[in-house]
Amino acid sequence: GAGVSQSPRYKVAKRGQDVALRCDPISGHVSLFWYQQALGQGPEFLTYFQNEAQLDKSGLPSDRFFAERPEGSVSTLKIQRTQQEDSAVYLCASSLDLNSPLHFGNGTRLTVT
Amino acid sequence: AQSVTQPDIHITVSEGASLELRCNYSYGATPYLFWYVQSPGQGLQLLLKYFSGDTLVQGIKGFEAEFKRSQSSFNLRKPSVHWSDAAEYFCAVGATSGTYKYIFGTGTRLKVLA
């Protein structure tokens, strides 16, 4: 079946612009995660949803970052007033449940100029 | 604090040679352990996982890993590397009971010489 789909693949934003990154998880996957991967680093946890409930947002770096999953499927990560340090690859992952491995999308590469 | 260390940033091996990628973790409880591979411009693909039981786990693409509790290690091995194995490899750890904050190492970039 289809994997985790993320769009856009690439996004260039001018500093101060708002961006929205979309994630379509695998159908039926309860758990959805957002990770941030800076250049040359491993992914770092941002936030976690169980269905539509955002159970943990402790990894979001600032209040400019906001994520939602209103119907328990598609999720959007929004970054307001982008800064250069927000440049990274944003990875979405989903899993059937908490005890199942993560399935990752190909990510969105955000470049803030 | 929970952490994952991959001591080798880059590794270069010749095609057909054996491979071992190191991973050490620090975790208070019995962990879930994973190895993921990431090709350029791609997301992470699960190679193998350890939850419990047999400490030698087999994965896809001919990879295996061994969990050694006494050494807090979960090293990835492959007996004969193929050129297509060139990629970045990430070790990750998670808790055994319902946590979701997988912690990833910084990765090891594998280069394969023809």
How many helices (DSSP H) and strands (DSSP E) are in chain A? 0, 11
**Average pLDDT over all residues of chain B:** 91
Q: Which tokens belong to A20?
A: 């929205």
What percent of chain A shows pLDDT beyond 90?
Answer: 88
Amino acid at position A12, single letter: V
Closest-CA residue of A relative to B10 is A40
Which of A99, A108, A109 to mutate: most B Cβ within 10 Å?
A99
Distances A113 to A10, A19, A82, A89, B21 between C-alpha atoms, Å: 13, 13, 9, 15, 36
Per-residue pLDDT at A99:
72
* B34 touches B96 (CB < 8 A): no
CA distance A76 to chain B (A): 18
Per-residue pLDDT at B2:
79
SS3 state at A85? helix
- The arithmetic mean of pLDDT across residues B90-111, rounded, is 83
- pLDDT tens for A80-102 read 999 999 999 999 999 998 777 88
Q: Which among A45, A105, A106 is the nearest to B102, CB-wise?
A: A45
- The arithmetic mean of pLDDT across residues B78-106, rounded, is 86
- pLDDT tens for B2-58 read 789 999 999 999 999 999 999 999 887 778 899 999 998 788 999 999 988 889 999
Q: Which tokens belong to A43?
A: 């992914």
Neighbours of A112 (CB within 10 A): 19
- The arithmetic mean of pLDDT across residues B55-64, rounded, is 95
Could you give the CA distance from residue B16 to residue A91 in angstroms, rounded to a whole number?
32
Q: How confident is the model at residue A72 (pLDDT cuts 50, 70, 90)?
A: very high
Q: How confident is the model at residue B97 (pLDDT cuts 50, 70, 90)?
A: low
Amino acid at position A20, single letter: A
On whether any CB of chain A is under 8 Å from the CB of B42, the answer is: yes
DSSP symbols for B83-114 = GGG-EEEEEEEEESSS----EE---EEEEEE-
Could you give the CA distance from residue B43 to residue B110 in angstroms, rounded to a whole number?
16
Per-residue pLDDT at B98:
54
Amino acid at position A101, single letter: P
- pLDDT tens for A8-21 read 999 999 999 999 99
Per-residue pLDDT at A22:
98
Per-residue pLDDT at A45:
92
